[in-house]
Structure 1
Amino acid sequence: MDGDYVIGGVFSFHYYMHTVKHNYTTMPEPLSCAGSINSRGLRFSRAMVFAIEQINNSTKLLPGIKLGYEIYDSCASVSVAVNVAFQLSGGLDPVFNTGDKCSQSGMVLAVVGASGSTRSISMSRIIGPFNIPQRVADVIRRSTAKVVVAFISTGDMKILLEELSRKPSPPRQWIGSESWVTDRDMLRFSFLAGAIGFGIEKSVIPGLRDFLLDLSPSKVADSPLLTMFWEEAFNCRLVKSEATDRSVCDGTEDIKTLRAHTLTHLISTSNH
């Protein structure tokens, strides 16, 4: 959305980047995301939009000034996050800007995110991704340490644990950040000797819950990202397509009727 001042946002709407094995005989394809929608990242972005709208609608905070925003998907990938950092600092790129809501191409004045320390550090340094394998599984396997402290995002932690599960290391005590230690999907890594972490105290942001639940098919259709979320949540298509067996949404879909797990993922920002 255009504005007098534009704020950038970078969140992990997907957990993975679509990887391509380059043969270096043709021009590489643009980076793209893979997998299903990560509702946590979507929730963060909606909270950012909510905050900007609250500021724009206030007569006291920034009178006479309209804030705009550019929000990008980092795919929980350093490569994409660095690419996005260049877009935010150098103007819009047709590959990333697929909508018609932004006409200005000036660089943003501030950035919220990325929603993970690994991508945030990479973006802050603006260094290109060299695809040099390292970062960490063999070091953990060889180490004599009995405790591992992992302050890391859920997406990055899954990649690490999936690699460790190929050849489990000796049992250790894990200490984790709230992002992954409260994720039930981590229970599938049975080789972990134990894990302890910290949860964030709950609070309520007035008006945010109602804002997140105020979605209708007409509002969703204006956003490709919300359209993807809507179609996955209700297993239907907003626009008829021969490429899928899903039926066309009939307009009776109500976000408040979603099963508790899906709904909790979307609105739980109001509890943090």
Structure 2
Amino acid sequence: MLEQICQLARKAGDAIMKVYDGEAPLNVSHKSDDSPVTAADLAAHAVIAEGLAALTPELPVLSEEDPPGWDVRQHWQRYWLVDPLDGTKEFLKRNGEFTVNIALIEQGKPTLGVVYAPALGILYSAAEGKAWKEEGGNKEQIHIRDARPPLVVISRSHAASDEELKEYLNQMGEHQTTAIGSSLKFCLVAEGKAQLYPRFGPTNIWDTGAGHAVAIAAGAHVHDWQGKTLDYAPRESFLNPGFRVSIF
């Protein structure tokens, strides 16, 4: 099934790129939390929702662009967790650092994940304890990698205003940092380019599910600041606690 989900993510990426390249109108609006939503978000959602309904009609879907109410999803044991366009701010900045995120959640754990960056032509995927990266027609299995000093990957959009992050980095000792958007931060740790992604600012479960799957399949740990693994079992709030993705 992983290959079918990869194909679906690529199809959603094609819909996003039509808007990104100006072939379709952008149509920016804002949600109640003031986060932007574009025609690309909605087009990718439509592609994924239709594709998943055809592929696994028995499984419900939780997408950022159409989240069911708590009464509908409170007993879900297996479901698809989708962010059709993660990194809408990066999409609007036109820096290419946005992704399609699709994860399969089973008993609260992300067991399959696909992260596709259509503007960069890079696809990360994970299932059955293995993770891969596809770029330029090449597919290779990826693993975490130790490096000293460690490279810390931080959010391009949120890090500058995050005082907790600044304090954490100040106490960390020798390290380097790099900034990137969307769930690509998980993937940099997974492929061994970075060793740590600390997150203090708010995220929702659809921001992290697919990247989480890729990171743990590559050997990384994804824990909240109390040391518990991030949990995707149904709960009323979509918000994650703060967390760290690390090789340590």
TM-score normalised by length of structure 1: 0.26
- Whichever structure has more strand as a proportion of its residues is 2
Give the number of the structure whose alpha-carbon radius of gyration is greater.
1
TM-score normalised by length of structure 2: 0.28
- Whichever structure has more helix as a proportion of its residues is 1
